[in-house]
Homo-oligomer: A and B are copies of this chain.
Amino acid sequence: MFEQIFEKVRQKSPLIHNITNYVTVNDCANMLLACGSSPIMADDLEDAVEITAICGGLNINIGTLNQRTIPAMFAAGKRANELGHPVVLDPVGAGASRLRTDTALGLLDQVRFAVIRGNISEVKTLASGRGTTKGVDADVADRVTEANLDGTVWFAKNFAKRIRTIIAITGAIDIVTDGERAFCIRNGRPEMSSITGTGCQLSALTAAFVTANPDQPLEAAAAAVCAMGLCGEIAYRRLTDQDGNSSYRNYIIDAMYRLIPAELEKGADYEMR
């Protein structure tokens, strides 16, 4: 199934509009190109709405949000909704500041998202309306482990059901659910968290996968999460004893560029709960 989903990305080469942070934007663009998609970035209010219309999907990432780009996020999100384009939200740092929490909650209120992709602390912030996030990484206390997996799946399903959006919580174990079914994914490497922006790249990737597979958004989101993790594994095997997080970043994008849909099918490591 993931094979066909990934093939669709390569065949359709969806154009993805990204309103995203300036920290990891270059890696997001190269990751989109690596998977077979095309990136475009616009964050001026006027421009963002028009660019949304020529794209197939929209990825909103609040990593370096500001008073100028927030209105562009709302307007582009609404325009994408009108056009029936899938929209992905990456609520970077929701819970770490009022502006981030309020913006993410406001977007949830006014824009219909296909997928929300965040770490457990960010998603808990969105679900509860208040946050305890320390920075842009998940709180240690929140982390998804085998011990709390069932509880976290239950939480994710409930939240997904309530807001009618696919929830993708990524961490040591990833959970992707539409409220009914949950993919629990064990692809990936812990070392990926030593690279800035692997989460941002995954959100962009998710937008591409969901845009190319409008009839299977849950499976497409899960395929994107598996693909990112699998590339993290492939790239990890390539590391020499001189390589560190910067080369690892390059190798993960390289791995996506080289990844064959059949490999994704074979390498995807998940169970349903």
Residues of A bordering B, CB below 8 Å: 15, 21-27, 29-30, 33-34, 38-47, 50-51, 54-55, 63-68, 93, 96-100, 134-137, 194-197, 238, 241-247, 249-258
Q: Are A194 and B247 in contact (CB under 8 A)?
A: no
Tell me the bound Cα distance from A189 to B244 in angstroms.
20
* B residues in contact with A258, CB < 8 Å: 241-242, 244
Identity of the chain B residue whose Cβ is nearest the Cβ of A101 in the assembled complex: B50
Give the shortest distance, in Å, between A242 (CB) and chain B (any CB): 6
Tell me the bound Cα distance from A131 to B241 in angstroms.
45
Q: Are B196 and A29 in contact (CB under 8 A)?
A: yes
Tell me the bound Cα distance from A121 to B246 in angstroms.
30
* B residues in contact with A197, CB < 8 Å: 26, 29
Task: Tell which of B33, B47, B99 touches A100, judged by Cβ atoms closer than 8 Å.
Answer: B47
Identity of the chain B residue whose Cβ is nearest the Cβ of A47 in the assembled complex: B99
Identity of the chain B residue whose Cβ is nearest the Cβ of A194 in the assembled complex: B33
Task: Tell which of B25, B43, B63, B135 touches A15, judged by Cβ atoms closer than 8 Å.
Answer: B135
A34-B246, A195-B33 are contacts. A96–B23 as well, Cβ < 8 Å?
no
Q: Are A44 and B66 in contact (CB under 8 A)?
A: yes
Tell me the bound Cα distance from A22 to B39 in angstroms.
13
* B residues in contact with A249, CB < 8 Å: 30, 246
